[in-house]
Structure 1
Amino acid sequence: MTRSVIVTGGFGVLGNAVAELFASRGDKVTRIDYAATASAPIAGTLDIGGIDLTDTEATKGALAKVVAAHGGIDVLVNVAGGFAWETLEDGDLATWSKMQSMNLMTNATITQLALPELKKSAAGRIVNIGAGGAVKAGMGMGAYAASKSGVHRMTEALAEELAGSTVTVNAVLPSIIDTPTNRADMADADFSQWVSPGAVAKVIAFLASDDAASISGALLPVSRGS
Structure 2
Amino acid sequence: MYASKGWLRPSFRSASKARKCLPEARMKGKTILVTGANGGVGTAVVQHFLELGASVAGVTRSEYKAAPAHPEFFPIAADLASPAGAAKAVNAAIERFSQIDGLVHTVGGFAFGALHEFSEQEWRRLCDENLTSAFNLLRTVLPLMRVRRRGRIVMIGSLAATVPQANLSAYVATKAGLHALVQSVALENREFDITINAILPGTINTAANRAAMPAADTSRWLAPQKLARLCAQLLSDRDGAINGALLPLER
TM-score range, shorter chain: over 0.9
Aligned to 1:43: 70
The alignment status of 1:115 with 2:142, answered yes or no, reads yes
The alignment status of 1:169 with 2:196, answered yes or no, reads yes
Aligned to 2:248: 221
**1:160 Cα deviation after fit:** 0.4
TM-score, structure 1 as length reference? 0.93
Aligned to 1:160: 187
TM-score, structure 2 as length reference? 0.84
**1:40 Cα deviation after fit:** 4.0
**1:136 Cα deviation after fit:** 1.4
Would you say the 8 A contact 2:150–2:192 is kept in 1? Answer: no
Deviates more, 1:172-181 or 1:37-46: 37-46
Aligned to 2:163: 136
Q: Which amino acid aligns with 1:184?
A: A
The alignment status of 1:194 with 2:221, answered yes or no, reads yes
Whole-Å separation in 2 of the counterparts to 1:142 and 1:87: 7
Whole-Å separation in 2 of the counterparts to 1:135 and 1:147: 12
Count the aligned residue pairs.
223
**1:121 Cα deviation after fit:** 4.1
SS in 1 for 2:68: coil
**1:99 Cα deviation after fit:** 0.7
SS in 2 for 1:11: coil
* 5+ residue gaps, structure 1: none
Aligned to 1:32: 59
**1:91 Cα deviation after fit:** 2.8
**1:81 Cα deviation after fit:** 1.6
The alignment status of 1:64 with 2:91, answered yes or no, reads yes
Aligned to 2:126: 99
Would you say the 8 A contact 1:73–1:121 is kept in 2? Answer: no
Deviates more, 1:88-97 or 1:76-85: 88-97
* Pair 216,191 (structure 1): closer, same or farther in 2 beyond 3 Å: same
Would you say the 8 A contact 1:126–1:208 is kept in 2? Answer: yes
**1:189 Cα deviation after fit:** 1.8
Deviations 1:181-207 (A, max 9, x none): 211222222211010110111111111
Would you say the 8 A contact 1:74–1:117 is kept in 2? Answer: no
Whole-Å separation in 1 of the counterparts to 2:135 and 2:116: 29
The alignment status of 1:80 with 2:113, answered yes or no, reads no
* Pair 182,10 (structure 1): closer, same or farther in 2 beyond 3 Å: same
Deviates more, 1:64-73 or 1:215-224: 64-73
Of structures 1 and 2, the one scoring higher in RCO (CA 8 A, sep 6+) is: 2
Whole-Å separation in 1 of the counterparts to 2:208 and 2:230: 22
* Pair 205,147 (structure 1): closer, same or farther in 2 beyond 3 Å: same
Q: Which amino acid aligns with 1:116?
A: P
Root-mean-square deviation (CA, aligned residues, Å) is 1.4
Would you say the 8 A contact 1:74–1:121 is kept in 2? Answer: no
Deviations 1:195-224 (A, max 9, x none): 011011111111111221111000000111
Whole-Å separation in 2 of the counterparts to 1:123 and 1:20: 24
